Structure formats: C-alpha cells, structure tokens
Amino acid sequence: MRSPLEDYALVVIDEAHAYRNPDAPARAGVLRRFLLGPRRDLVMMTATPVNNSLWDLYHMLRYFVKQDAFFAERGVLSMRERFQDAMRVDPFNLNPDMLYPVIDATTVKRTRQFIKRHYTNDLVLLPDGSRVPIQFPKPVASSITYDLETVLPGFIAELETALAPSSGSLPLLTLARYQPENYPPGQPQATIDTAIVGLIRSGLLKRFESSVHAFAETTGKMVREHELFLKALEQGVVLRKTFFQELSAAEGDDELIDELIESGEHTEPASLYNADMLRRDTESDRKLLAQMHNRTRRVKPDQDPKLAVLMEELVKVVTQAREAAATPEEERRNRKVLVFSFYEDTVNWIEGFLDRVIERDKRLSCYRGRTASVAGNEVRHGVSRRDAVWGFAPESSGAPPGSQQDKFDLLVCTDVLAEGLNLQQSCNIINFDLPWNPMRLVQRHGRIDRIGSPHKRVFLRTYFPDAQLDALLNLEFRVRRKLAQAAASVGVEVAPIERGSEGQQTFTETREEIERLRQNDASIYERGGTVSSAQTGEEYRQELRKALMKRGDEIRSLPWKAGSGMVKGKHRGHFFCATVGKRVYLRFVPFDGGGLVSEIGTCLRMIECVEDTPLVMPQDLKHTAFSAWQKAKQDIFASWTYETDPANSQPRVPALNRAVADHIRQYPPPEIDQQRLARGLEAVEAPCSVREQKLLRTVFEQGFPSADARSLALVVEIERIGLEPFQAPEPLPPIQPEDVQLVCWMALESV
C-alpha cells in the first residue's frame, strides 16, 4: 500500500553516485521533486561518490545542502567557490585536501583500513544468517610486464609527437575537426585545446596502452568521421558535434549521411570559420590517423605481447590453484579469475584470443566451456550480465534458486562489474590496463577482498609496459596539463582554469602509487585507497578517543604551547595548532621558507603517526620555532580578519541571475503576490550551479506574449528548480593578534 509523500520523513539511496548527474530526469529530477515540500532527511550511500570529476560530489551534496554558505563556521564561505578552487588547482585530483572540511561535515567514511584497525574480530551477520569475524583476506600484488616495442617499434615516439611532444612544440595531431571554434574567420587558429580535445588525446593514449585493437578501432572510426567532415566542407558547411551523435544510425548508409548533411540541421556555414585552415589541419589529421590506424590494425592477436603474457599468467593461476587446493571444489574456486579492462574493444580482443588459445593449449583445458564476458548491459554470446555474474560466483553473488549452477571460472569484463557486486568466491583479478587511476584498481579489488571471503589471500595482478612506463606516464602528464589549462572540469560543469599547470601534486601521488604497485607493494589495497582518498576525519577522532581512554589524564594535564618533534614524510618545518575562541586552526610553516600550508586535510596527513614514530628535536628547528609561530599566527589572524568584513561573505551572483531579477522587478507579474515575488527575487539573487543557470536561460530566452508573462514564467521556474535565498553568515567579531592562542606545536623532520 502506498502512503502519501507527506508521510515519508527519511529517504535512503543506495549506489547514490547514480544521482551525480543533475540533468537526469529519471533519477535526479524525481529525487528533487520528492524532496520538495516538508523537510525530509536524506542519506546517500556510495563507495564511489566521485567518478568523473569533483562536480559529481558537489551535485550530490546540493540535494541537501541548499545554502552556499552552509559551512561558513568551518571556514568555507562558499561551497561552490571551494569546489571551483579545487578544480582550478588540479581538475584531476578527486580527493583534494581543500574539500576536507566539507567532506568531514557531510560524510561518514569507512575505509578498509579503518575497519581493519578498529573493528578487528567483531562479528558481522552474513546473508545466510551466520556470524563471522570481520576479517579481510590478505592482498597479494604482482606486476605483469610486457614490451610494446616488440610489436610496434618506435610507435610510442610517434604517439608522443602526435599528442604532446616533450619539446613543448605543438602536437602534430591538431584534432581540428573536434574544435572548429578555434578557427575564426580572418584570424589564425587558436593553439589551446578545448576540454573535449584534451579528453580525446588522453583517451587515444589510454586506448593504445589498453590494446592495439582498441586503438585501431578508435582511429578507424575517427578516420571515417574526418572524411565525412571534409566532404561537408567541400559542400560549404561545417558539421557540428551533434551530427556525429546521429552518425551511428547512419553508418554505412551513404544516402542517409548525405541527407543529414544536406538537411542543415547539424551544420553551420563554412563562412563562419577560417575554412581553408580548418580544411588543411583536418586533412593532415586524417592522414596521420590513417597511418596510425594502418600500423596498429596489422597486429594480429598471436603477435600481441600483452595477450601472450596473459596466457602464461593464466597458466600460473591454474598451477597455483591446483597446488594450494585440498579438494577439486577448492581447486575450481581458486582458479576463478576476473580479467578487467576499461574498454569493451579490449574485452572483445581478449575474449577472441582466449577462445582460440584455451581450445589448443592443454594447460588451460580447465577453462574450456567455462568462460564468459561482460561489457555494459547487453547479452554477450547468449549470456546476460546477470547470468554471467551468477554463473561465475553463485555462492557469493546471491544467485536465486534455479540460477545457482557454477558455470564459469574465467570472466573478462569492463568496470561495469567493478562496484556493487560480491564476487569473493574468486580470489584472482588481472588488470589488463595500466592503472592510470589507482583508485580504479581499489574498486575492482573490493569485489573479491570482502568480509566472508573463503580465501586467506587474494591475488591482484597488474600489467605494466615495463620499458615504456616512464615515457607513457610522462606523456599522460603533458596531456593532462594541457587539459588543465583548457578547462576546470571534465565533468558536468565547465569553467576556465587559472594556474592549471600547478596541479602536479596529485599526479605525483599517482605516479608513486603506480611505482609501488609495479614493485608488488599491496599497501594501496590494505589502505583501501590512495593516501589522500583513504583519509577520514573519523579515523582521527577514533585515534583521539583511544588515546584519551589510555592516557586521558596525561593528555589533559599537558600545558598549552607544549611542543614535540618527530621524523616523518618529505616535509621539514613546524606544525601549529591554535584557537581563536572555539574555532581551531592548523598551520604548517616549511623550514625552507616555502608556502605556508593552511588546509586542514593536508596538515592532518602531514602529522599522522603511530606510537613507534621516531621522536626528534633538531636544534635548528628548535631555535626557529618561535619565528615560525609568528608567521603562522599572522596568517591565522589574517584569515579571521577576512571573515569580519561582511563584504567578503556576499554571494557572487551570476550575470544571468541579475538580469532575470532586473526583468522581474521591472515587469512584476500581477498573478504573483508580493511575498512570493520577494522570495523569488531573493532566491534568484543567490549563487547557483551552471545547470540551474541553463534552466533559467532557457525560460528567459523563450518567446512570450508580454514582458510580465516572461516574469511569471521565470518565478515559476525559480520555484520549480528549488532555488533558495542566500543566507549570509554572521561576520566574525574583530580580534587582536594576541587572541590567537597556541595549543601545541610539533617540529617535523623529513625522512
């Protein structure tokens, strides 16, 4: 029986990352409508709140954090501006320290590291009703190396020249077809890539590393699209991006393609562009793409070094399963393998090869008739995604009666199986692609490293192009740096980047994680994420609770301004904890005079330690502690003083919103009472997202019979969107420098 909406006080959403796109009417639109009216509490549960960019997290928070200044007491005067700043510094950092205050205030984060440390041997209830200790299997990481040069000598150097030369010169591949706006009439073309072109460059590189087949498939499609683009240019029109969205339906139908071009629905006059230069660069790109396509498509599966080592790795899995098993059933469970790739083309490439090699290689005969693949939701070779999962891990996946037959031991898949599934019946994962994003491996690893696993160890094997690894990573860094200079976001919202080239911290961390994996270091799996992503405020609070239980009297009796020192990390300098009233500030002052660190997340990570962390107090750090404190104190005083000026907490209202408000004031609709009108004006004169601005613009630019009819439609749209008036935070009271009180300090000596 359905109850009225008014009866629901709590909304719980599992796999909440599915609601990260605010423009998806079937999910986001329904949820927003459901949350209108009487206040309801909302709980969103997800292991992957950020998939594409930080805007994923922002849009999920916006479902229940309506006020942009909601976190002012935590020093975040504008949530939207804080996200924009995070994207400007590094659009690829999915766990930036500057978002720590927001994340800590809104999330309960339970990493594997946290559970292992604080819930060891606690009992958990399994689906079958049994209670077992909270224990995870031990992850064992190993690297699989191969050499790309053996099949395509010199190709990586060619790819570097095409995508992002190390010399700093312009890429040979202009990708003009995807950014015709860079070719204004009568002017030279712009040399800064658009965001979409930056993504294409990165995608080409990653597809090549994934498999020569994936690269050849993509470049072949691109050649065809370039030929169509040039054909349209000959007819005096430039194809818009929407044309190629329709192309899949017309593929192979030349008459329909001609109709699409001639219709004008997806074209613009070539006179709007510098057509000669656009044609020149597009022809050059078509030729270059065709050359790369022809080289890679000639590589046959039996020549592919990645497939060759995959076969040998599967032989090792079979041998290991047989040697470690006490029963045939245990042996079959031990040889179950998930082979992951990011691309469906690569899944096809792997599957076709394995079908042939398993039939002819006796060492792999145990996999005959017991392989399946998953890519998306479609049925593959008569097996649906659901049946593939149930057939691979019927015990752990919760297969229903009638679907509990153990059918598959080898499952080749994309990341569609990387979240939300219990596949711990298996203990082997092979990552066929280079881990450009180590967190993706952690998500995959979570499918088999789960409470209730029958295995004491799980094995995570990862591919590395050993001889070419540095060249590929350096090329990716140059590509992403160019993208950072072009756009602040690769997700829903797009904005220009300032200081984009400074965003190197995350890439450095990524390279360090990749190198650790290359050296068979499983620490990323033990932590449940990269160093920054595994950080959680609850971890610090739990440590504090334990310390207070163990040494509460000692801690409480410590005098203010007490200092200590320890050896940790790469940074050398002084850490300070201070207060102004009830507000706590953390600062780190580098000894070498570098930039002072004020982000609470960064400071906390810098001073994380364990009981056996070496204690030291170098003389130079001891003697410079007071001068360092004066720098930290002045910075804290300046931060507080900034918030005493009400002007600094005023919202930055988009120009469109101001124009909408001016129109409504000039032409107030008679159908709207004064109170409702005033609230609408207050709501529109407040910060809002790009999505909300687009919705307002759509109404604002529509044709209406009168100006007040437009005003009425705008007020109704403001209410429908759910915009709320901005509530400015209370300004802080003025203070004197001596009001900044030092609680404690610590000298940090680098390792």
Instruction: Quick: pLDDT tens for 103-125.
Output: 999 988 887 778 877 887 788 87
Q: Where are the domains of the chain?
A: 5-109, 133-146+303-467, 152-298, 558-647+737-749, 652-721
CA 653 – CA 685 distance, rounded (Å): 6
Q: How many CB atoms lie within 10 A of CB 121?
A: 7
Q: Could you tell me the two tokens for 734?
A: 């003025």
Q: Is residue 343 within 8 Å of 207, Cβ to Cβ?
A: yes
H helix intervals, 487-599: 505-518, 523-527, 537-556
434 and 145 Cβ atoms separated by less than 8 Å: no
Q: Are 204 and 436 in contact (CB under 8 A)?
A: no
CA–CA separation, 506 vs 167, rounded Å? 23
- What is the pLDDT confidence band of residue 410, given thresholds at 50, 70 and 90? very high
Tokens linked to 121: 């041997």
Mean pLDDT calculated for residue range 185-199: 79
Lowest-pLDDT choice from 314-318, 516-520, 599-603: 516-520
For residues 50-57, give the mean pLDDT. Answer: 78
pLDDT band at 408 (very low <50, low <70, confident <90, very high): very high
Please work out, in degrees rounded to the nearest 5, the angle formed at the alpha carbon of residue 345 by the alpha carbons of 340 and 350: 55
| pLDDT band for position 241 (cuts 50, 70, 90) | low
- One-letter amino acid at 323 equals E
What's the pLDDT at 254? 47
Q: How many CB atoms lie within 10 A of CB 576?
A: 26
Checking if the pLDDT of 250 tops 50, the result is: no
Mapped onto helix, strand or coil, the DSSP state of residue 640 is: helix
Weakest mean pLDDT among 267-271, 275-279, 556-560, 699-703? 267-271
Q: Which two tokens stand for residue 479?
A: 């590509």
- Tell me, what's the pLDDT at 573? 96
The domain at 133-146+303-467 falls in which architecture? 3-Layer(aba) Sandwich (3.40)
Beta bridge partners of 142: 461
Q: How many whole angstroms separate alpha carbon 451 and alpha carbon 204?
A: 38
204: its two tokens: 């080409």
Q: What percent of the chain has pLDDT over 90?
A: 49
pLDDT value for 245? 52
**Cα–Cα distance, 315 to 317 (Å, whole number):** 5
Indicate the pLDDT class of residue 492, thresholds 50, 70 and 90: very low
As a whole number of angstroms, the distance between CA 427 and CA 439 comes to 19
* Residue 138 CB partners (closer than 8 Å, separation 6+): 456, 457, 458
**Which one of 50-59, 245-254, 537-546, 632-641 scores highest in mean pLDDT?**
632-641
Q: Mean per-residue pLDDT for 94-103?
A: 85
Residue whose structure tokens are 């790309």? 148
Report helix, strand or coil for 39. Answer: coil
Residues 260 and 244: their CA atoms lie apart, in Å, by 10
Confidence of residue 21 (pLDDT cuts 50, 70, 90): confident
Place of tokens 């990493």: 111
- pLDDT over 70 percentage in the chain: 90
Q: What is the mean pLDDT of the chain?
A: 86
pLDDT at 243: 53
How far apart are the C-alpha atoms of 631 and 638, rounded to whole Å?
11
For 475, phi then psi, to 5°, come to -65, -40
Which tens digits make up the pLDDT trace of 421-473? Answer: 889 999 999 999 998 888 788 889 989 988 878 899 999 999 999 888 888 88
The confidence score (pLDDT) of residue 504 equals: 41
For the whole model, what pTM was predicted? 0.78
Do 659 and 700 touch, CB atoms closer than 8 A? yes
Residues paired with residue 249 on neighbouring β-strands, in sequence order: none
| Contact call for residues 331 and 325 (beta carbons, < 8 A) | yes
Residues 535, 114: Cα–Cα separation, whole Å:
10
> Which tokens go with 317?
């899995």
Residue with tokens 């050649």: 223
Residues contacting residue 695 through CB under 8 Å, at least 6 positions apart = 717, 721
List residues bridging with 464 in a β-sheet: 145
Rounded Cα–Cα distance for residues 386 and 389 (Å): 5
In order, the DSSP letters of 472-502 are HHHHHHHHHHHHHHH-S-SSS-----SSGGG
Phi then psi for residue 166, to 5 deg, are -70, -20
Task: Count other C-beta atoms under 10 Å from residue 574's C-beta.
Answer: 25
- Who's near 6: CB < 8 A, 6+ residues apart? 37, 38
